[in-house]
Amino acid sequence: MRPILLSGHERALTQIKYNRDGDLLFSVSKDQQICVWFAHNGERLGTYHGHQGAIWTIDVDPTSTILASGSADNTIRLWEIKTGRLLKTWDFPTAVKRVEFSEDGSKLLGVTEKRMGHLGTIVVLDIKLDVDAEQSDEKVMTIVCEDSKATVAGWSYLSKYIIAGHEDGSVSQFDGKNGDLLYNIPIHELNQPITDLQWSHDRTYFITASKDKTSKLITAKDLEVLKTYPADTPLNSATITRKKDYVILGGGQAAMDVTTTSARQGKFEARFYHKIFESEIGRVRGHFGPLNTVAADPTGKSYASGGEDGYVRIHHFDKGYYDFMYEVERERQNKLNQQQQQQTVSA
């Protein structure tokens, strides 16, 4: 199907995110704008004004009530999605590179940049999922990353752990309650920063993307690497699709490294891999800059990518996408269908 091209940003995209129902798509970019779009037709619902710096990150709570954003103006802001009203601003000494709600929306974590003598930190804030409630100023918890700064972080299932990806290619597991470091495991190549970390729907495992040109599927519980997806270009983002067992990777040669001799050098494509078999299935072209962020619709109907070129492209999947199956998958499907039939018959 033809992709929907969203041209609402004037500068490079930094993150895009679907809400839980998959009907809204939020996008932030370096042009200090937050946009929200209808995912099914690409119509813009509105924008959120207030940030005074490039916005690095965004997240939406599970009920699609509140929006959190982190920016280079050293703030995390909370917005009411419906009205665009600014609910709360937290100030930090440095830029905020990542925000994420916990699975029930009661907590928000923020990753702050290491700069000007400040170490990189992961802060946790308590959130009341009520647009009229007073949000607390207090930080519930602050984790200081002394060795290598965290670039990305997220909450695991039950908010049990905070998982962080670091600049040196390692992944840490912190206790979600008290912030103790439980593990720090070198997962990606040394000193190749982890650029993205996205969860499976039940937050039991996650996918990382790294500049070392690989993406890995890792368990939240004991940081075991389940799968590795090799690409031929530095990766900026990776996501796990619903309904089908695929992962989507996005990346491309960094703008400053792109040679002028050949457009094909850039490799500005979204790559689909089979999640379980680790084999590449296909690529989607279209962007004319590196892909900075990819997101999969939680309902499995579409995916979107945001590029350095300032565009967001929403792709709705065709029938062929759903029909495609490896023979062993089909085998399993048939078996399951049979079992179901038997059950209904016996019932």
Q: Residue 63 CB, nearest distance to another protein (Å)? A: 5
Site for another protein in 102-121 (CB under 8 A): 103-105
Q: Which residues touch 261 (CB under 8 Å, ≥6 apart)?
A: none
In the bound state with another protein, the residue whose beta carbon lies nearer, of 138 and 327, is 327
| DSSP one-letter code for 47 | E
Planar angle of CA 220, 231, 271, nearest 5 degrees = 85
* Closest C-alpha among 263, 283, 284, 294 to residue 2: 284
**Which token pair is 149?**
């700064």
In the bound state with another protein, the residue whose beta carbon lies nearer, of 46 and 93, is 46
Contact 186, 169 (CB under 8 A): yes
| DSSP one-letter code for 126 | E
324 binds another protein (CB under 8 A): no
232 binds another protein (CB under 8 A): yes
Q: How many residues bind another protein (CB under 8 A)?
A: 32
1 binds another protein (CB under 8 A): no
The tally of CA atoms less than 13 A away on the side-chain side of residue 65 is 14
Secondary structure of 267-283 in HEC code, one letter for each residue? CCCEEEEECCCCCEEEE
20 binds another protein (CB under 8 A): yes
262 binds another protein (CB under 8 A): yes
Contact 124, 141 (CB under 8 A): yes
Side-by-side strand order, sheet with 13-18: 13-18, 24-29, 34-38, 44-48
In the bound state with another protein, the residue whose beta carbon lies nearer, of 120 and 251, is 251
β-bridge pairing 96-101 and 107-112: antiparallel
> What kind and span of H or E run contains 331?
helix 327-346
Q: Residue 300 CB, nearest distance to another protein (Å)? A: 17
In the bound state with another protein, the residue whose beta carbon lies nearer, of 80 and 103, is 103
Provide the mask over 186-205, with x wherever binding to another protein is found by CB under 8 A and - wherever it is not. Answer: ----------------x-xx
Stretch touching another protein by CB under 8 A, among 138-146, 261-269, 309-317, 337-345: 261-269
In the bound state with another protein, the residue whose beta carbon lies nearer, of 5 and 325, is 325
* Binding residue for another protein, selected from 65, 135, 192, 228, defined by CB under 8 A: 65
In the bound state with another protein, the residue whose beta carbon lies nearer, of 261 and 343, is 261
Q: Which residues touch 228 (CB under 8 Å, ≥6 apart)?
A: 214, 215, 216, 217, 278
Provide the mask over 277-296, with x wherever binding to another protein is found by CB under 8 A and - wherever it is not. Answer: x-------------------
Question: Residue 31, exposed/middle/buried by CB under 10 A (0-12, 13-18, 19+)?
Answer: middle
In the bound state with another protein, the residue whose beta carbon lies nearer, of 6 and 127, is 127
In the bound state with another protein, the residue whose beta carbon lies nearer, of 60 and 125, is 60
Q: How many helical (H) and strand (E) elements, i.e. helices and strands, does the chain have?
A: 2, 28
Site for another protein in 134-163 (CB under 8 A): 157-158, 160
Positions in the binding site for another protein (CB under 8 A): 20, 62-63, 65, 103-105, 129, 157-158, 160, 202, 204-205, 219, 221, 226, 232, 245, 259, 261-262, 264-265, 276-277, 326-329, 331-332
